């Protein structure tokens, strides 16, 4: 019998076919550097990665020297909150929310008060947020449950005939100039929202509270908003406080590559940005502005924007009286978050 022919070079690389053998399904492994588990990685892919980012913005205080917000920033110690935000790493922000610790509020758990980001557990609590913003919890006033919404309306609109409202919500365009500036600032840096046409009762109460010189526990307030969002699983949400999250992660030693792209800033809250807000809220839905204006930039080739009207005299005087008497007010400290955690523990023992 003739000797067996040795295989050619081309044949050596071929695998011998075998019958009746099915391929094993490909198992998708977890990117251990970016995700705590396959479940967290899947959460990122199916929902969190679709979230748009609504970022903080610098407040150009020099553009609003006569605004009550100018005084409030100083009273509350919110200089860092109003200053240039930390650079934003959008990928890091999405990963933060995708890996958010679902047991972060449960005392006794292994990682109570911590969340996982890029291979390490970092502290994330109201105290951490207050420390990052360099603010204290002295002289805190609890957010009130104001029953007299007529008083709120008269204060926000600066008119005695503001109540009852023609609709269910307050209209942004009817706020006094001073409170309009405050609301734009709050909408980015305190209680983020992209909706500016109308204001619900909760937001109206918050503006009323802040404008009366009543300081809130900002760390606890922001922490609650972030943690509530961290428990969401669908794609119809917006990632908030991206600069804060990026800054806290970097301060905690989370790995950030020098080549990691930074999210482009949307500019500061200045008088030109405020005029853009006025045009937007005053324009009917679907209407096209007569003259396009570049966002947050001086309209060099266009007529000068009209100067905002001064706030009603009576409202301004009331605000100043409230601020001047700030030192005489009773100071209350309410640990809302602590009480909620205590209730959770009590329920867990039932």
pLDDT band at 277 (very low <50, low <70, confident <90, very high): confident
The rounded distance, in Å, linking the Cα atoms of 341 and 350 is: 15
Q: Residue 61: CB partners within 8 Å, gap ≥ 6?
A: 69, 70, 73, 82
What's residue 300's pLDDT?
43
Mean pLDDT of 109-125: 97
CA 295 from centre of chain: 21
Residue 145 CB-half CA count within 13 A: 0
Assess whether pLDDT exceeds 50 at residue 190. yes
Which carries the bigger pLDDT value, residue 207 or residue 13? 207
Assess whether pLDDT exceeds 90 at residue 215. yes
What's residue 68's pLDDT?
80
Query: Residue 127 corresponds to which tokens in the numbers above?
Result: 């105290």
Give the model confidence (pLDDT) of 217-262 as tens digits.
999 999 999 999 999 989 999 999 999 999 999 999 999 999 999 9
Mean pLDDT of 42-53: 96
Within a domain: residue 248? yes
Which DSSP category does 110 fall into? Answer: T
Assess whether pLDDT exceeds 50 at residue 289. no
What's residue 346's pLDDT?
52
What's residue 218's pLDDT?
97
Which carries the bigger pLDDT value, residue 69 or residue 13? 69
Number of domains in the chain: 1
The rounded distance, in Å, linking the Cα atoms of 153 and 175 is: 9
What's residue 266's pLDDT?
85
Give the model confidence (pLDDT) of 73-103 as tens digits.
999 999 999 999 999 999 999 999 999 999 9
Mean pLDDT of 306-324: 45
pLDDT band at 7 (very low <50, low <70, confident <90, very high): low
What's residue 70's pLDDT?
86
pLDDT band at 341 (very low <50, low <70, confident <90, very high): low
Mean pLDDT of the chain: 79
What's residue 334's pLDDT?
34
Adjacent-strand bridge partners of 170: 199
- Among 133, 32, 115, 121, smallest CA distance to 78 is for 133
Within a domain: residue 18? no
> 255: domain range?
33-282+312-349
Contact of 88 with 246, CB cutoff 8 Å: yes
Within a domain: residue 220? yes
Within a domain: residue 132? yes
CA 200 from centre of chain: 18
Residue whose token pair is 């266009």: 302
Which carries the bigger pLDDT value, residue 270 or residue 301? 270
Number of H helices, E strands in the chain: 14, 6
The rounded distance, in Å, linking the Cα atoms of 133 and 228 is: 21
Within a domain: residue 20? no
Which carries the bigger pLDDT value, residue 69 or residue 129? 129
Give the model confidence (pLDDT) of 122-171 as tens digits.
999 999 999 999 999 998 998 877 889 999 999 999 999 999 998 889 99
Least confident range from 37-51, 179-193, 269-283: namely 269-283
Assess whether pLDDT exceeds 60 at residue 286. no
Compute φ and ψ for 202, nearest 5 degrees: -65, -45
Within a domain: residue 264? yes
Within a domain: residue 306? no
Q: Positive or negative CA dihedral for 55, 61, 64, 67?
A: positive
Query: Residue 8 corresponds to which tokens in the numbers above?
Result: 């050619």
């Amino acid at each position: 019998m003739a000797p067996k022919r040795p295989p050619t070079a081309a044949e050596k690389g071929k695998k011998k076919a075998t019958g009746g053998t099915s391929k094993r399904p490909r198992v998708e492994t977890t990117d251990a550097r970016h995700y705590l588990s396959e479940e967290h990685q899947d959460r990122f892919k199916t929902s969190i990665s679709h979230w748009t980012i609504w970022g903080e913005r610098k407040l150009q205080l020099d553009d609003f020297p006569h605004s009550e917000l100018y005084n409030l920033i100083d009273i509350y110690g919110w200089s860092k909150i109003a200053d240039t935000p930390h650079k934003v790493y959008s990928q890091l922000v999405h990963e933060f929310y995708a890996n958010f610790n679902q047991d972060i509020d449960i005392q006794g758990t292994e990682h109570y008060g911590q969340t996982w980001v890029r291979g390490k557990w970092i502290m994330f609590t109201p105290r951490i947020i207050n420390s990052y913003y360099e603010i204290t919890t002295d002289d805190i006033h609890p957010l009130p449950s104001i029953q007299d919404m007529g008083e709120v309306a008269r204060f926000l609109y600066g008119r005695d005939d503001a109540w009852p409202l023609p609709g269910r919500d307050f209209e942004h365009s009817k706020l006094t100039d001073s409170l309009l500036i405050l609301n734009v600032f709050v909408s980015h840096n305190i209680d983020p929202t992209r909706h500016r046409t109308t204001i619900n009762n909760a937001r109206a109460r918050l503006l009323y509270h802040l404008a009366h010189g009543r300081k809130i526990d900002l760390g606890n307030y922001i922490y609650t908003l972030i943690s509530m969002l961290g428990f969401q699983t669908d794609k119809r949400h917006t990632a908030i406080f991206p600069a804060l999250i990026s800054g806290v992660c970097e301060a905690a030693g989370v790995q950030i590559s020098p080549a990691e792209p930074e999210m482009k800033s949307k500019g500061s809250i200045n008088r030109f940005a405020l005029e853009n807000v006025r045009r937007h809220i005053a324009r009917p839905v679907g209407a096209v502005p007569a003259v396009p204006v570049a966002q947050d930039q001086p309209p060099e080739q266009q007529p000068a924007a009209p100067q905002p009207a001064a706030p009603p005299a009576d409202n301004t005087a009331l605000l100043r009286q409230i601020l001047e008497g700030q030192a005489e007010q009773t100071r209350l400290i309410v640990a809302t978050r602590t009480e909620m955690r205590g209730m959770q523990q009590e329920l867990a023992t039932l």
